[in-house]
Structure formats: structure tokens, C-alpha cells
A and B are shown apart, each in its own frame.
Chain A
Amino acid sequence: MQAKNQNWDFHHALKVLDEVCIGCTHCMTVCPTQAIRVRDGKARIIDNRCVDCGECYKACPVSAIIVEQDDLQMINNYPVRVVLVPGVLIGQFPEKIRTSKIYAALKEIGFTHIFEVENSVEMVLDAYSQFQSENTNRPLISSFCPAIIRLIQVRFPSLVDHILRAKPPIDISALYYKKRLISEGISASDIGMFYVTPCAAKIAAIKSPVGEEESPVTGVINMNYLYNRILQHLKKNEEPPKADFDRLLNSKGILWSLTRGESVHSKGRALAIDGINNVTEFLEKLENDEYEDIDFLELRACDESCAGGILISGNRFLTVERLTKRAAEYEASELANPPRKNDPLMEISPESFFKKVKPRPMEKLDEDISKALRKMERKRRLMCFLPGFDCAACGAPDCQTLSEDIVQGKAQVSHCIFMQQVMMDQKKLSWEHAKKITESIWGSERLQKNCNKLGAEDENN
């Protein structure tokens, strides 16, 4: 029973809004883990396959995929309201808007304390060094991007022991700052820690952490929502008061969440790969031992890393440019080497690492090899009949996935519209039955006239 829980007790931040979903195939065909099917005219996400990468969110033409988030009102339940701000939030504003103004707006919105997530990168680097010296697996894979960790768990289970199990800056920062507030005499129950997230995967990772211990983060705020709230405050008040905040951040921290932000600090041979399909392609080869002598891999699910997160409002290339400039300014100023306070709370501890990452292989046809072999034989036979050009009209992303669904008892051969023709021709399927099948996949109204769709007469109605 343990194994079953492991597969299903997974929190996902991406949800489908049934009332908005038009039941097309865009999300289903871009999903890198084949986690989506269409049933009753709506996209359905299969929980134990989804890695929260957000490719479906980007592909959806009607914004029917949403990111489950905490309500900003939630912060009012805590007297001490800490906002944990990642660098990419600042990168979205034009340069003329100084960081202190953005932080002043965050205080007006209701936060009492501001802490930049990447303040802890020096601690993270210490944790990396320690893990690297104690662990002989190479290459070590960064634990920074939670979508990548989940991708490895489900698609590359043999690589889980290569994950560098140091916690990412968000966890280290949250742990540190909470302890610091407590050391200043604030009661733990009064502290609410809120992370502003650029993506869905970070939400999922906080709601169900990989190492299975509880996250120190209380709530997660959608960056796109908060960005718009900040803009309103900036407009209201042309010259907001300057906010004070810890100046611990250095240029390393500013660049950390961008592509090559981690790999440049790695000793030995290090590669940075962004984009989940690029990562998948590389890991396929790595799993075969085709690449040797690589020491460190920085792998990020989004193109341009966190600047390309699905909750980033600004253009990802401009965000990268602004942050690069900001880092150069810091490098040239007295902020280049912020004093690393003589603070015992800033030392790494066993808490800086997470426990074993469990593989959750999703590709197996059956636990039992004899049964899996029989299913595979049947699947190969089915593929002799399915058309093989992946039209997705069956409600599965491609013919191979349909054949797997069939052998798993989750779909029928007659779901394929080409097989329907063959079966009708052989008098094994009636027209009425075929129509019922189509409606069960694409919804009962799909065969009726509808002018509200994109490109039709009343597309905006």
C-alpha cells in the first residue's frame, strides 16, 4: 500500500478550469510526460505523471490551465508577514524603477519584512561543496528546479542518486530568516513566510516537498498577480518612501536563477541546460553512460530558466538583460562583497540538506514482469494497426500512448477514429456507437455548430 500512496500523494499546482477548457489537443501534445488526456471534452491531468513544468499552461489557447495559489489575504492571519522575493521579480520592472521603490510597494501591500531569496546562495554553495566532497556520484545534478527533480523521479529513476541533495535558496532562506526572527524574540506562530513564485513547480515543491519534511514556507503568492499589484501601488504613489531591506545579496545571487547562474561556480566540468525538452534529450543520453567526465549539471525546465517561468509577466529576454546589468552594478559597487555576518545561523547544518529522493517510475506497464511482457506484446500488436501519425483524435497525445492506455484498460481500440472506420467497414461497430465514443471523448456538443471558437464568426463572444 505504501507504493500506492507514494504515487498518488503528490500535490499539483496546475489545474484545468473545466468551464473554460475547450477540449482541444494543445496541452496534451506538448506535455513532456504524456500526463494529459481528453475526456468528456475536457483536458484531464494524470497526477502521478505530471511534473508541474507548465508546458501545458504555455500552450493553452484559452487560459484554461491555472496555477493553484494561496490568496494574498492569507497574510493577514500573521502579525509578522515576511515576503521572500526572488530576483526575477525585480528583473521584470524597467530599470528606472529602483528596487527600493518596489520593496516600498510590497510594504504598502501589507508585508512587514522583505527578504531576498538569493541572499542565501553563499550558504547554498557551502552545502554544494560539502555534498560534492561526500558523494562520489558524477555528474551531480542541481536540485534547484523542482520540475526537473520530478522529471528525474518519473522518467529517469536510475539518476535519482545523482541529485545534489542540498536545499535550494528558497528553503535555505526561509529556514534562516525564520530562525533569525525567532532569535529576535518573535514567536514562531506569529510568523508567516510567503514566497513569490515565478512558476507552478515551486508551488508544488512547497506543498509537497521532495524530502517529505514540512516546508518552512507558509504560503505561495503568484508572481504575476503580485507584479500587477505592485504596479498599481507605483502608479498611485509617484515617490513612495524608500524601504529598508537586508543588503546581503551579491551578484552571484542576482544571477543564480538565470541560466548558468549555478554552473559558473562549479569546479570541474559543468553544463547548464534550460528547456525541459533539451533536458530530457540530454538525460536520455546520460542514462546510457554516453557522456563521461561531467561533474555538475544545472538543469532548468524553463527556457531562460526562472526568467521564463510561466508566472513571469515581462519578456524573459529583457528580464535576463536587466538582471545581468543589476549584477554588474553590484559587482562594481560597495555591494560586491556584502559582509557575511558573523552569524551562526548562516552556517550550513544537516537541515540544509534533504533526504533521499525516491524514484517514482511511471513508464512501467506492470509491477510484475510476466504481466508487463504480455502487455508489451499486445501493445506491439496494436501498433501494427494504429495509424502511427499521432493525430490525438482519440483523446491521447499519440498512438503509442493510446496503445499503452488500451493495454492498461484505460482506453479502447475504438477510440481511434481510423480504427472506427475499419470496424464499421467490418460491421463490428455501428455508426451510433461510433458517435457515442466521439462524444465521450470530445463532449456531447462537439458535433454541433459553435461560432464562439477562435477564428469563427463570434470568436470574442
Chain B
Amino acid sequence: MQFKYKIAGGDFTNAGNASSAVKKILKQLNVDHVISKHIVVALYEAEVNIVAHAYSGVIEVNIDENQIHIILDDKGPGIADIDQAMEEGYSTASPQVREMGFGAGMGLANMKRNADKMLISSEPGKGTKVELIHYLKPDAG
């Protein structure tokens, strides 16, 4: 089953709406609340990243009985050095974004910690694609 959400860059007011919608779906599917928490935390970080850094983005959520596969595809500046961006504390967020309590440089590392698998690809000047995979059964993965 597939769900799609459009994300507007710079709209911090609505950052988190996609995560909330996915959380509701996971509750309805009776996904274990510990697994669900990891999914929502990773997705929220990823959603805020699009809002904070990109111009626009699309979140595609694919769920089957074994896993949830989330693809976040944004149009934005992209990431020049992904390894560096993965380091805790590294951030390119603007002072304005940091003032709002975002952009502490923990986002990507936190996403990786909460996901079973994470893939990032980026084309500087064009955008970034993040894939998050979570296994829905505690014994899988």
C-alpha cells in the first residue's frame, strides 16, 4: 500500500504532518509501538530536513506486512559530502533555522540510528533522496 505526502520547504508550521499521518496508519495496522516510535522519529527528522534545507519534497511511504519503505525525494541544494553530513553536530542550517530549535546537526545520525536501513544519494544543486527501511516484525532484520 502506498501513501504520498507533499512537503513545502520553509513551512515549519506544518512540518510533522506527514509523520503524524504515518503514525496514525501504523496504529491502525497494529504495528508494535516501539517499532512505530522508531519509524516516526526517523521520518520526522527527515521531514524537518526537507523543510529546513530544500525547496520542496515528496514523501512516498510503501507498506507491506514485512516492512515499511519510505522514500523522501527533495528538490534542493543537495549534500556535497554525505559522510561529513552524517557526522553528529555537522550542520549547514542557517542561523534562522537554528534559532527555531532545528539544525543541531543530529538529524541524519538520528535517522540512521532509528532506521533498520538508510540510503542517501544526492546531486549537489538538484536535490537529495533518502530511503528509510524499517522491518515491521520484531524478529526480522
Q: For A2, list chain B residues within 8 Å (CB).
A: none
Which of B16, B33, B36, B40 has the most chain A CB atoms closer than 10 A to its own CB?
B33
Cβ–Cβ contact A365 & B44, under 8 A: no
B30 and A367 within 8 A (CB): yes
Interface size class of B (residues with CB under 8 A): 20 to 34
Contact string, A280-315, partner B, CB cutoff 8 A, digits 1/0? 000011011110000000000000000000000000
Give the contact stretch, choosing among A271-279, A348-356, A372-380: A372-380
Q: Taking the complex as formed, is B130 at the interface, i.e. its CB lies under 8 A from any CB of chain A?
A: no
Contacting residues, chain A, for B19 (C-beta < 8 A): 288
A229 to B120, CA, bound (A): 70
- Chain B residues within 8 Å of A460, by CB: none
A77 within 8 A of B: no
Q: Is B29 an interface residue (CB 8 A)?
A: yes
Interface string of A354-373 (1 = CB under 8 A from B): 00000101011111111011
| 8 Å CB contact of B33 from A290, A359, A368, A377 | A359
Give the interface centre of B27, B31, B136 by most chain A CB atoms within 10 Å: B27
Contact mask B22-39 → A, CB, 8 Å, 1/0? Answer: 011101111101101100
Residues of B within 8 A of A376 (CB): 1, 25, 28-29
Q: Does A158 contact B (CB under 8 A)?
A: yes
**A157 proximal to B (CB < 8 A):** yes
Q: Say yes or no: A288 contacts B30, CB within 8 Å.
A: no
Whether A373 pairs with B29 at a CB distance below 8 angstroms is yes
0 or 1 for each of B53-75: is its CB under 8 Å from A? (1 = yes):
00000000001110000000000
Contact A290 B30 (CB under 8 A): no
Complex Cα–Cα for A361 and B27 (A): 8
Complexed CA–CA distance, A381 and B132 (Å): 27
A143-182 contacts to B (CB < 8 Å) = 157-158
Contact of B29 among A288, A289, A364 (CB under 8 A): A364
By beta carbon, the residue of chain A nearest B40 is A288
Find out whether the CB atom of B44 lies under 8 angstroms from the CB atom of A366: no
Complex interface: chain A residues within 8 A of B44 (CB): 288-290
Instruction: Name the B residues within 8 Å of A363 (CB-CB).
Output: 24, 27-28
A422 to chain B, nearest CB (A): 26
Which residue of chain B is the closest to A289 with respect to CB atoms? B41
Asked if B28 and A369 make an inter-chain contact with CB atoms under 8 angstroms apart, the answer reads no
For the complex, give the distance between the alpha carbons of A366 and B29 in Å: 7
Q: Which residues of B contact A380 (CB under 8 A)?
A: 1
Kindly state the interface size class of chain A when it binds its partner.
20 to 34
Inter-chain contact A285/B16, CB cutoff 8 Å = yes
| In the complex, residue of chain B having the shortest beta-carbon distance to the beta carbon of A375 | B28
Contacts A287-B23, A288-B44, A363-B24; is A373 near B64 (CB within 8 Å)?
Answer: yes
Q: How far is the CA of A289 from the CA of B30 in the complex (A)?
A: 20
Assess whether A157 is in contact with B29, with CB atoms less than 8 Å apart.
Answer: no
B37 x A361 contact (CB < 8 A): no
CB-contact partner of A372 in B20, B28, B40, under 8 A: B28
B30 touches A372 (CB 8 A): yes
Separation of A124 and B42 alpha carbons in the complex (Å): 37
Name the residue of chain B whose CB is nearest to the CB of A379. Answer: B28
Note all chain B residues with C-beta closer than 8 A to A365: 28-30
Residues of A within 8 A of B30 (CB): 361, 364-369, 372
Residue numbers in B under 8 Å from A359 (CB-CB): 33
- Could you mark each residue 51-74 of chain A with 1 if its beta carbon is under 8 Å from any beta carbon of chain B, else 0? 000000000000000000000000
Min CB gap A225→B, angstroms: 39
A178–B47 Cα distance when bound, in Å, is 54
Contacting residues, chain B, for A373 (C-beta < 8 A): 1, 29, 63-65
- Report B-chain residues with C-beta under 8 Å of the C-beta of A289: 37, 40-41, 44
> Bound complex: CA of A369 vs CA of B29, how far in Å?
6
Contact A369:B20 (CB < 8 A) given known A288-B41, A289-B44:
no
Pairwise interchain contact B31-A369, C-beta atoms closer than 8 A: yes
Q: Taking the nearest CB of chain B, how far is it from the CB of A408, in angstroms?
A: 11
Q: List A contacts of B37 (CB < 8 A).
A: 158, 287, 289
Taking the closest CB of chain B, its distance from the CB of A6, in whole angstroms, is: 15
New A-B contacts (19) at CB < 8 Å, excluding given A289-B41, A365-B29, A372-B29: A284-B23, A285-B16, A285-B20, A287-B40, A288-B19, A363-B24, A363-B27, A363-B28, A365-B30, A368-B30, A369-B31, A369-B65, A370-B65, A372-B28, A373-B64, A373-B65, A376-B25, A376-B29, A377-B1
Which 4 pairs, one residue from A and one from B, show the smallest C-beta to C-beta distance?
Answer: A364-B30, A158-B33, A363-B27, A372-B29
Query: Which residues does B use to contact A, with CB under 8 Å?
Result: 1, 16, 19-20, 23-25, 27-31, 33-34, 36-37, 40-41, 44, 63-65, 136
List 7 A-B residue pairs with CB atoms under 8 Å apart, sorted by A's residue number: A157-B33, A289-B37, A289-B44, A361-B30, A363-B24, A365-B28, A365-B30
Q: Which residues of A contact B (CB under 8 A)?
A: 157-158, 284-285, 287-290, 359, 361, 363-370, 372-373, 376-377, 380
